[in-house]
Amino acid sequence: MAGGGGRSPFQITLRASERRFLKALTRQPTAEHRQVIRARIVLLAAAGWTNAAIARRLGLAVNTAGKWRKRFFAEGLDGLRDRKRPGRPRAFPAAVVTTCKAIACELPVTRGVPLGRWSLAELRTELLATGLVADVSTTTLWRWLEEDPIKPWQHRSWIFPRDPDFAAKAGVVLDLYDRVFQGQELEPDAYVVSADEKTSIQARCRCHATLPPGAARAMRVEHEYERGGALAYLTAWDVHQAKLFGRCEPATGIAPFGRLVEEVMTTQPYASATRVFWVVDNGSSHRGQASVERLEGAWPNLRLIHLPIHASWLNQVEIYFSVVQRKVLTPTTSLISPRSSVACSASSAATSRPPPRSTGASPARTSPSCSADWATTNTAPPQHDHHARTSIRQH
């Protein structure tokens, strides 16, 4: 035993698991310094050191060494944690805080407030109007709500599945994704196709050429544009072969969807397949028993499988549409108008080839009407060295 000081009545004996934990804590580089010191105090105490010797070794007060020796002796490892401190007295009674949280959990309309949801400022106004408090800051309100946490300014949408056969219909689709139908594995030459339409893809002819990214500068897209019409993108996705069929149509409908089906079903290996399962939602182009009779009558090896109502998210082609929206259609810039299959405007063709480098002049105007509108403003468009062109690839 190291000398110095009297023998403490709180003799420490460590179990093997406690010793391993404390030693690991002292070697942990991310551990809090105070926790490391407490672990070393206990380890030295268990080795027979006196409080005075521990204090000299670690550069502490003797009382500090005695405090953590006693705490560990009484409570074990839990005694090395910080205890809750009382802090300053509460400025608001607990009943006020509870009432505030209760009001935050009510819809504003139930209290006669013409709002869709609470914000901190409006919640404060309501508390003051009720006379619950004379004054309170929005920071205090945020701290109260954060304790639970309650965030009345946020909302999430949900929908109730009203299809009585939701589970059964969804189960059929999920089984097909696993290559199972009616409890039997699919034939090797059976295929599962996920199909849907992405509607109202706008062709937007920007008034100024889109500018590419540069040093410390994001890509810049002109806010104003001419409407060049809209297209519908019809897609069929082979779930297991990762093969994609896509076509653009002026609008959705039975005939456009029929052309997509024909494109797939006249292509090998689908034309000679034993069965081709088409997973579709309940859109007007392929809804109900009539669509089953129409498509299965035209293609004997086709089996039309409808998703439950409000379950388009089970359709795997929606994942592809999400990628298209993020990577192709945002931001949308088109040089071609679906209405006429020609350039959106007479001068937009200038953006189809890289212009010569400028010395800081404004980007070339790509639309006469937009340029006229721009001329009425006093703010010059951004200036850059070169122009970029972007277009929607049509599959």
Check whether 2 has a pLDDT greater than 70.
no
Last residue of a domain, one of 80, 110, 135: 80
| Order of all β-strands in the sheet with 243-249 | 243-249, 225-238, 191-206, 276-280, 302-306
Domain containing residue 371: CATH number: 3.30.420.10
Pair 112, 232 in one domain: no
Last residue of a domain, one of 25, 58, 80: 80
Among the listed ranges 7-16, 48-57, 171-180, 338-347, which one has the minimum average pLDDT value?
338-347
Within-domain flag for 158: no
pLDDT tens digits, 64-119: 999 999 999 999 999 999 888 777 777 899 999 999 999 999 999 999 999 999 99
DSSP string, 303-346: EEEEPPTT-GGG-THHHHHHHHHHHTSSS---SB-TTTSSBSST
Pair 233, 269 in one domain: yes
Within-domain flag for 152: no
Pair 141, 243 in one domain: no
Within-domain flag for 395: yes
Could you give the number of structural domains in the chain? 3
> What ranges make up the beta strands (E) of the chain?
180-181, 184-185, 191-206, 225-238, 243-249, 276-280, 302-306
Domain that holds residue 130: 94-146
pLDDT tens digits, 290-319: 999 999 999 999 999 999 988 888 899 999
| Dist. CA 103–CA 125, nearest whole Å | 12
- pLDDT-derived band of residue 24, with 50, 70 and 90 as boundaries? very high
Pair 249, 272 in one domain: yes
| Dist. CA 277–CA 180, nearest whole Å | 11
Pair 190, 302 in one domain: yes
| Dist. CA 34–CA 148, nearest whole Å | 29
Pair 53, 168 in one domain: no
Pair 255, 133 in one domain: no
pLDDT tens digits, 244-283: 999 989 889 999 999 999 999 999 999 999 999 999 998 8
Last residue of a domain, one of 25, 55, 80: 80
Name the H helices within 191-285: 254-265
| Dist. CA 60–CA 53, nearest whole Å | 10
Pair 109, 36 in one domain: no
Pair 112, 50 in one domain: no
Within-domain flag for 127: yes
Pair 262, 240 in one domain: yes
pLDDT tens digits, 118-130: 999 999 999 999 9
Within-domain flag for 157: no
Pair 106, 29 in one domain: no
pLDDT at residue 226, as a whole number: 81
pLDDT at residue 223, as a whole number: 85
Pair 74, 103 in one domain: no
Structure tokens at 298: 């035209």
User: Mean pLDDT of all residues in the chain?
Assistant: 82
Within-domain flag for 215: yes
Within-domain flag for 234: yes
Within-domain flag for 33: yes
Other beta carbons within 10 angstroms of residue 20's beta carbon come to: 11
